[in-house]
Chains A and B, each alone.
Chain A
Amino acid sequence: MSSLPLDSLQDELTRIVDQAESEGILLRLLGGLAVQLHSPSANHRELQRSYPDLDFITDAKGGQKLPSFLTGMGYSPDKRFNTLNGARRQLYFDDQHGRQIDIFVGAFEMCHKLPLAPRLPIESPTIPLAELMLTKAQIVELNRKDVLDLLALFLDHPVGISDDETINQEVIAALCAKDWGLYTTLQLTLEKLRTFLTKGEVNLSDAQLQTLTGRFQQLETFIDAAPKTTAWKLRAKIGKRKRWYEEVEEVQR
């Protein structure tokens, strides 16, 4: 196994995940490149985007092994950032290719916290589709790339009750039933996706549009029908008067 990062991002991804596996580190891809691996539609000319960096998640045990593992793989750590945040987030640089690896440890924390670690073993090299979709859908202030990723995911995968190339609605509904904030943001995101399509921001066929709106609807109906926790109901009474998501800040790197 080479100790220097490879030119091709996809080859590099495979190299890292395979080597991590052999060293007992559970490392899974998320972000745009994970969407591309799952979704042929991500290569549709209307949904294409660039993938500058690699985003991973690992469990707490893996987080402890990352510094020596990634240094051995030819990456240099962002010492300042990792010192202050390394227990939950770590950054590494591939100086040769000008790329960056961003790794969440234990849980995915952005606008909402997603406990991804328990289901990491389900799939490789990415996190399961339901969680992958949620990592995008939980963003309150979506950007174009996030929307394109979400559309690609929904276009290529049915919403159903398994993890096998399917967006597992039960997993999503279970998380939303416990967390009113996540539920609310997901509703808003689906609404934004519909608006995006209505505005004609991407040129998709009628059949594709129909598939997308049908899947949005199916997911919404299933989430709404799921029984909610008492905490969810209490938080729902307060509503949007109180901010329901965490603020995500730009970090100068």
Chain B
Amino acid sequence: MASSSRDTTGDLFVRKATGLVRSWSVFDAFVYAAFSINLVTLGLYIFSQMYFLEGGLLPTLLISSAFILFEVLVYAALIAVMPRSGGDYVWQSRILGGGIGFVLAITGWWFILWLWVPLYSDMFRHLFLTPIFGLLGAKDLALWFGQNPLGLFLTSLVVCGFVAFYIAIGMKWYARIQKYCFWLGLAGLAIFFGLLLFGSPEAFQMSLNQEMPGLFGTAENVYTATMAAGQEAGAAAPMVGGGLGAILMAMPFMVFFNLWPNWGTALYGEIRGATDFKRNFSGMAWALIITTALGVVFFFLVQKTFTWDFYMNANAAWWNYAWGYTDQVPPLPIWPNPILLASMMLPGRFLKILVVLLISFWWFGWSGTVFLSSTRIIFAAAFDRLLPEKVAEVDEKTHTPVVALLLMVVPSIIVSALFAWNVFSFQSLTLNSTLVIAVTYLGTTIAAIILPYRKPELYNASPIAKYKVFGIPLITVGGVIFAAFLIFLLYAWLIDPLQLYGIGLANTSSIIFLLVMYGLAAAIYFGFKFYRKRSGINIDQVYQEIPIE
């Protein structure tokens, strides 16, 4: 309750028993982190797009995860120093300065999420809608959702509805739902892995050829036809090997999947025990380690039953068509969803539907991540008066941040339309979704590197001050390693010497998109700073204080 003094009587009283039970436990944070680097959604989606690379996917996954452990270290340390809702925005604005903090956080946690909505939607239709409609016998509807731009756009509207629901129900209910989704999704994943473990290439090939014509109207012997189409499309990616250079060049793709164990850090003002560095680190690190291990298991099981060649050929055949390199619909006219493919080995439709349904909980539990963390960044900026106060207001009845939600949903719908119909080549901007956030992370990482020197009182009073490597603060050492990794990624994306990623300087749409986003953020910052100054509020002074909670 509201008492405030600390008092002790002998050893009977150890602390004042007042305060707040925060909404989320450490386990809730772990589940959120595990969903944020989601093998089933992000993982399967980006693995399939990497078909033309020459670096082995398995070593690429392992090496990138090793670097991302340093990201976890940096963020866990920053949380322990300043466990505040608003994460990157609060840390950057208080350590680097308001302008940098605002522009990098607003672009990385708000604007770029508009682009993530059609990506979440694309995964939803391929993972759930197309397979389910196909299995229910609605072949034409399944293919329409999987191939038609309007299908993608409608899916985006459904996704926006879901996300709005998640944000409206509040943190406590969100945690409950994501926990159910986590366990159900794990059950689905276990069945999926079991099918691959106990299946054989012969059984898979036979069941695929047997089931697909009935479900999706494919021609006879879809297996052989897919292998040939994939070869023609340029399938190249091996599971292992490929040389260090090729592996490094595959990493800018892989991080689309695994750069996000820190996705919940904007919420740590609402997570219990957030000043405990080790607890923060282990929650995010275990999510990363377990997901990486699951990815490795997936690769081996795919090789065992689908065969790696078939998997990559199917991916190549699909994306070659989806990206418009050919008008020829591939022999398998849907995204080669590994879960659906594996379920072909099950007898009857009911079991197939059950597996697809269970695995879809990976998407349902994850979908809220597209905007939940963003709301906290928007709130934090509004509390600092860099956005209108209205933005942080919640509806009295539903406790929903209606204005903040609208600011995320409405532009997302516009961007989804651009993406669905590929206006201004928007579909080529997929990796921008990762690039812009990586820039934000780089800002936070630089803030972490200089924290002990820029804010020594804050750092020395924190629980991380005792961690040093050869006398250098651990947060600085970890920050330097992760910053080097991020700089390499940014170089690869932007300069793109081998023209692998399609979002570099050679892509005018991409550069204009980036300039518009950063320009808009800078305009809001300077506009509001000027406006507040005229009202007698010095924004620079606001940044001298760490927000209280």
Contact = CB atoms under 8 A, between A and B. Distances in A.
A97 interface: no
B2 A53 contact: yes
B269 A201 contact: no
Contacts of A52: 2-4
Interface residues of A, number: 51
Nearest to A192: B12
A243 B376 CA distance: 30
Nearest to A51: B3
Given A248-B21, A251-B20, A80 B549 contact: yes
A52 B392 CA distance: 30
A145 interface: yes
Contacts of B499: none
Interface in B3-24: 3-4, 6-10, 12-23
Given A30-B1, A80-B549, A250 B272 contact: no
Given A89-B20, A249-B20, A31 B2 contact: yes
B273 A143 contact: no
Contacts of B389: 79
B139 to A, nearest CB: 45
Contacts of A67: 396
A72 to B, nearest CB: 13
B472 interface: no
Interface string A122-152: 0000000000000100011111111100000
A207 interface: no
A252 B548 contact: yes
A85 interface: yes
A198 B358 CA distance: 59
Contact of B549 (A81, A143, A146): A81
B379 interface: yes
B interface, size bucket: 35 or more
B278 interface: no
A123 B124 CA distance: 52
A253 interface: yes
Contact of A144 (B13, B20, B397): B13
B548 A80 contact: yes
A80 B19 contact: no
Nearest to B546: A252
Nearest to B6: A143
A195 B397 CA distance: 46
B375 to A, nearest CB: 9
A151 B507 CA distance: 74
A234 interface: no
A54 interface: yes
A55 B2 contact: yes
A83 interface: yes
A32 interface: yes
B548 A144 contact: no
Contact of A80 (B12, B23, B383, B396): B383
A13 B2 CA distance: 15
A144 B383 contact: no
A37 B21 CA distance: 27
A169 B273 CA distance: 34
Contacts of A53: 1-4
Contact of B379 (A32, A83, A192): A83
A55 B1 contact: yes
A84 B19 contact: no
User: Which of the listed residues A65, A196, A249, A250 has the most CB atoms from chain B within 10 Å of its own CB?
Assistant: A249
Nearest to B401: A83
Interface in A18-56: 30-32, 52-55
A247 interface: yes
Interface in A63-99: 64-65, 67-68, 79-89
A102 interface: yes
A210 B80 CA distance: 48
B523 interface: no
A12 interface: no
Interface in B376-395: 376, 379, 383, 389, 392-394
A248 B20 contact: yes
A64 B17 contact: no
Contacts of B10: 199
Contact of A64 (B12, B270, B397, B549): B397
Given A64-B397, A249-B22, A80 B272 contact: no
Given A86-B394, A143-B7, A251 B273 contact: no
Interface string A165-201: 0000000000000000000000000001001100101
**Chain A CB within 10 Å, residue with most, of B12, B14, B269:** B12
Interface string B16-37: 1111111100000000000000
A109 interface: yes
Interface string B164-192: 00000010100000000000000000000
B397 A250 contact: no
A209 interface: no
Contacts of B468: none
A211 interface: no
A201 to B, nearest CB: 6
Nearest to B400: A87
Given A249-B272, A249-B273, A251-B20, A141 B14 contact: yes
Given A64-B396, A144-B13, A251 B19 contact: yes
A140 B2 contact: no
Contacts of A164: none
B270 A84 contact: yes
B272 A247 contact: yes
A100 interface: yes
A83 B86 CA distance: 13
B548 A253 contact: yes
Contacts of A251: 19-20, 549
Given A54-B2, A83-B379, A201 B21 contact: no
Contacts of A145: 3, 7
Contact of B399 (A32, A81, A86, A199): A86
B81 to A, nearest CB: 14
Contacts of A236: none
A85 B14 CA distance: 27
B27 to A, nearest CB: 12
Contact of A249 (B1, B3, B19, B85): B19
B217 interface: no
* For the complex of A and B, 8 pairs with smallest distance between CB atoms: A53-B2, A102-B2, A139-B17, A87-B399, A55-B1, A252-B548, A31-B1, A250-B19
22 contacts: A32-B3, A55-B2, A64-B396, A67-B396, A79-B383, A81-B549, A84-B270, A85-B23, A87-B172, A87-B399, A111-B21, A139-B17, A140-B17, A141-B17, A142-B17, A143-B16, A144-B9, A147-B13, A249-B21, A249-B272, A249-B273, A250-B19
Interface of B: 1-4, 6-10, 12-23, 85, 170, 172, 269-270, 272-273, 376, 379, 383, 389, 392-394, 396-397, 399, 401, 547-549
Given A80-B383, A85-B20, A141-B16, 13 more contacts: A32-B1, A52-B2, A53-B2, A67-B396, A79-B383, A83-B401, A85-B23, A110-B17, A143-B3, A146-B17, A247-B272, A249-B19, A253-B548
